[in-house]
Structure 1
Amino acid sequence: MIFIIAGLSILSYLLGSIPTAIWYGTNYHGIDIRTQGSGNAGATNTFRVLGKKAGSIVLFVDALKGFLATGLAAVLYYFHLIDWQTCVTLKIFFGFLAIIGHLLPVFCDFKGGKGVATTLGMVLALHPLAALVSIAVFLVVFGISHYVSLGSMVASIVFPLLLTYGVFGEEIPTLIYFGYFIAFLVVFTHRMNIVRIFQGTENRMYLIPSKK
């Protein structure tokens, strides 16, 4: 079992390390996304530089990385190799490794994106209902402010609050604690965005571009 968990841990990190935005931009547009826009190798910058189609593909694949890595623990549970409590713990562990892989990808000099999409995939696998509410919060905040970064941070904070107050029933403490850790991580990786928001220099995005 130790070797199985070790192997799945490595696989989770490698899944997260897949540099979707970089590979897609290079192979289909001849552009290294890290040299354009904000320089971030993530879905938001891909939307901004390469458009909706490219951004949607990168967003989906980056979220899928987190979802699949988190779901690896469910395979062990399905084959009755672990109990449910251990399954939840391993879901958190594998999902977190995928996020680390996205932040520090081995395939591109350990310089990746901010992990929001991969985190989204992870929380969808961990707690679909809370994740969907968080997505709705993101859309509202983004729709009002036009700041993807602000929407991401607020949504990440809402997720553990929903679990803390038992909106969907009693939750496993480990999941709640990790929810707060993820919120901290998202806010931390967006610390420069916070500065730019207060300075009024943060890039805005629009779901429906205004016609000139």
Structure 2
Amino acid sequence: MDWILIISGIIVAYLIGSFSSAVLIGKWFFNIDVRQYGSGNAGATNTIRVLGPKVGVIILLLDVFKGWLAVWLFGLFASTLTEPSASYIRLLYAFAVVMGHVFPLYTSFRGGKGVATLLGVALALFPTAALIVILWFIIILWIFRYVSLGSITGAILFPFLVIFLLPGPAPTTPLVIL
């Protein structure tokens, strides 16, 4: 294993996660810091509350994309690895990008909750389960009108979907439950 490449990839994933689109777009285009309003988080839900749904959806898509991108980058940094090492290192990249979103280097470690970024990670690692969770989230949001309820119940549903939808036991499956 080339540890320098692996560690470099983890650092890059964290830095990608640290890119706070809610803070940057809020400051660049609206001259406000979304963390000073609403829930105080630098995420898509608070951006929807503060800047409206159009801007919030853009933030949501950017946050999902950075989660997906960090896991995709795994292929560039660690393409020579074999299973099960590759799965565990891929999860380190996923963890790093989410931690970057929650504790961003560029904004004094005050970020969002990481739900959208984690969704991007889930789309990269387990796309079928992630798409089912997205559908679940939309249904819950439509019925109850609570983003948090959709997020929490989706997070509970996700590991069960991964366990039951995967064709065989994957080395990362126990870690999904965590």
Which TM-score band (shorter chain)? Answer: over 0.9
Instruction: Please show how residues 24-173 of structure 1 align to structure 2 within 5 Å.
Output: 24-76=25-77, 78=79, 81-164=80-163, 166-173=164-171
Query: In structure 2, how many angstroms separate the alpha carbons of the residues matched to 1:110 and 1:19?
Result: 10
CA RMSD of the aligned region, Å? 1.3
Residues 66-75 or 10-19, more deviating: 66-75
More relative contact order, 1 or 2 (CA 8 Å, 6+ apart): 2
Instruction: Show CA shifts across 1:140-183 (max 9, x none).
Output: 1111111101100111111101122x234223142x222222xx
Structure 1 residues 27 and 73: alpha-carbon distance in aligned structure 2, compared to 1, 3 A threshold:
same
Q: CA deviation at 1:74?
A: 2.0
Residues 81-90 or 1-10, more deviating: 81-90
Q: Secondary structure at the match of 1:110?
A: coil
Q: CA deviation at 1:124?
A: 0.3
The aligned counterpart of 1:201 is none
List alignment gaps of at least 5 residues for structure 2: none
List alignment gaps of at least 5 residues for structure 1: 182-212
Q: Identity percentage over the alignment?
A: 40
Larger radius of gyration: 1
The aligned counterpart of 2:16 is 15
Query: In structure 2, how many angstroms separate the alpha carbons of the residues matched to 1:77 and 1:20?
Result: 27
Q: Secondary structure at the match of 1:16?
A: helix
Aligned length, in residue pairs: 177
